[in-house]
Amino acid sequence: MAAHFGGLTAVGSSPGTTPRTLREAPTVSAVSVRGLIRGFGPKGVLNGVDLDIAPGEFVALLGPSGCGKSTLLRALAGLDHDVKGSGVISVPDRVSVVFQDSRLLPWDSVLGNVTLGLRDHDADAKARKALAEVGLAGREKAWPHELSGGEQQRVALARSLVREPQLLLADEPFGALDALTRIKMHGLLRDLVAAHRPAVLLVTHDVDEAIALADRIVVLDSGRVATVRKVAPEIGTAVDAAGHEALRRNLLTALGVDVAASSH
């Protein structure tokens, strides 16, 4: 089913089937973006983005501040109806989004926040299982203000996973956390993704986070995908692996950092 939002064409899939635009494609994608153009008033932000994400693939999106990372993520999430644009987007039926701020309802319990909008008869049981998966078993009755920032993000992850997404969109989900909590959240996200296998698009400013988590890293620049790098599994999990430092420097250079100057 194709839907039109202010000049943007979003092509969704029928339940349980391959996205329509991809039926004849050689490789099936969870996400397919073609020629995506987005702008606010006269200001162009995305100027022809092409991007594919395979089912179960983890893609990290890097780019300078203001380059359009959140704009792209919001377009994939179907959250930008009032933005001018064109292009074709194909995403799966079940898409979950996690933001930097957990966006929990302050007047509802942890359990209530996770089950919010779920109509399944076993919603509570599913939510309890998801909370246990993110390490919050026993905190179901707590209020959001009783949780630390890291715990609130765990609830946000549980809320997204309980919907069994085929695509998880995350916009700097760990950006507001301290370094140690962030590292713990990396391990948690890696385990959750390995268990549930959604396709993932993670927006981040952090090159090391991207290398640690992603199968593939995409750099957005001047409104387009400027650089694409695959991350070998052994590079992602070990900072001393051959190729890790070269990939890191390569990505920093793509982001406009003068690596030679910054290493002195």
Ligand X SMILES: Nc1ncnc2c1ncn2[C@@H]1O[C@H](COP(=O)(O)OP(=O)(O)OP(=O)(O)O)[C@@H](O)[C@H]1O
Which residues would be at the binding site for ligand X (CB under 6 A)?
40, 45, 63, 65-71
Contact 168/96 with Cβ under 8 angstroms? Answer: yes
Contact 11/2 with Cβ under 8 angstroms? Answer: yes
Give the interface segment with Mg ion, choosing from 34-42, 69-77, 80-88, 177-185 (CB under 5 A).
69-77
Q: Between residues 69 and 163, which has the closer beta carbon with respect to ligand X?
A: 69
- Taking the C-alpha atoms of residue 128 and residue 139, their distance in angstroms, rounded to an integer, is 9
CB of 184 to Mg ion, least distance (A): 23
Out of ligand X, Mg ion, none, what residue 12 binds, judged by CB under 5 to 8 A for its kind, is none
Size of the site for Mg ion (CB under 5 A): 1
Out of Mg ion, ligand X, none, what residue 106 binds, judged by CB under 5 to 8 A for its kind, is none
CB of 145 to ligand X, least distance (A): 26
Q: Between residues 113 and 204, which has the closer beta carbon with respect to ligand X?
A: 204
Contact 202/213 with Cβ under 8 angstroms? Answer: yes
Q: Residue 54 contacts by C-beta under 8 Å, 6 or more apart in sequence?
A: 27, 28, 29, 30, 199
* CB neighbour class for 89 (10 Å; exposed up to 12, middle 13-18, buried from 19): buried
Out of ligand X, Mg ion, none, what residue 233 binds, judged by CB under 5 to 8 A for its kind, is none
Q: Is 70 an interacting residue with respect to Mg ion (CB under 5 A)? A: yes
Q: Is 166 an interacting residue with respect to Mg ion (CB under 5 A)? A: no
Query: In this structure, which amino acid lies at residue 212?
Result: A
In the complex, the residues that contact Mg ion under the rule CB under 5 A are: 70
